[in-house]
Amino acid sequence: MTKDSRLNEWFVPKFGPLKFRLFIGLLFLPYTGMCISFVVLGALLSPNLNFERLFSICLIYFMSLGIAAHVADNIGSKKIKPWGNLFSKNQSWGLITLCLVLSYLMAFYYIVYFTPLLLAVGILEIFFLFVYNFELFNGFFHNDFWFSFSWGMLPFFAGFIIQTNYITLNSILVSIIPFFLSYAEIKISRPYKSYKRHDENLNKVKLYEKILKILSLGTILTTLLIFFLKILMI
């Protein structure tokens, strides 16, 4: 591994074979968990909760963004990637393709039979998956705003739309919360990675890491709490 290795990250297991640890690290599970939490929050805002659709949209996002987008990021960025050559380029593209095909087949089932408006989210998400991670259009979309829109607001809308097949003013207003949570996460993550990579200002590294833990784990735990409260009210 290079000096940029992030094997010492708090979300990377300290046990198991190297490739296993690298793969778990590559998934950025706390931040993937944030994204899936936004999906759940969108679903919970709907008047009626369909558990099958909720589970399906969470699985769709785990495959398409949790796996495919992170693998794409590892091979697409112009910067050195700390996860190294975990997969060859062919293996990476194979995994990206498999995850996207499976997730979009599931999505199209709901689009065709129940929630056609979900198609709009699906088109936007696959657009951002490629333009953000491969820094297309001279990196125009590779910034904090579009990250927050595609990983914060859109997952929230996907969770709401797969339950309702419409958007309300209330859902638009509430979607600002996941947008700003995502914005805070990426804004703090960038200097955190820089300081950590260059072994600079360890006090700031510890502070930023603590904030990232609070943001990600706090979002996940709060979502679980709201979820169980919703169930009790049904």
Task: Tell me the CA end-to-end span of the chain in Å, nearest whole number.
Answer: 51
Read off the pLDDT of residues 145-198 as tens digits, 9 standing for 90 and up: 999 999 999 999 999 999 999 999 999 999 999 999 999 999 999 999 888 877
Listed by start position, the domains of the chain span 18-233
Please tell me the pTM assigned to this model. 0.93
Confidence of residue 78 (pLDDT cuts 50, 70, 90): low
* Cβ atoms 234, 203 nearer than 8 A: no
| 79 φψ region: left (φ > 0), alpha (ψ -120 to 50), beta (else) | beta
Report pLDDT digits (tens) over 29-70: 999 999 999 999 999 999 999 999 999 999 999 999 999 999
Can you tell me the distance from the alpha carbon of 219 to that of 10, in angstroms, rounded to the nearest whole number? 17
How confident is the model over 107-142, as pLDDT tens digits? 999 999 999 999 999 999 999 999 999 999 999 999
Nearest alpha-carbon partner for 56 in 117, 120, 124, 102:
102
- What was the pLDDT predicted at 79? 64
For the structural domain made of 18-233, what CATH number should be given?
Answer: 1.10.600
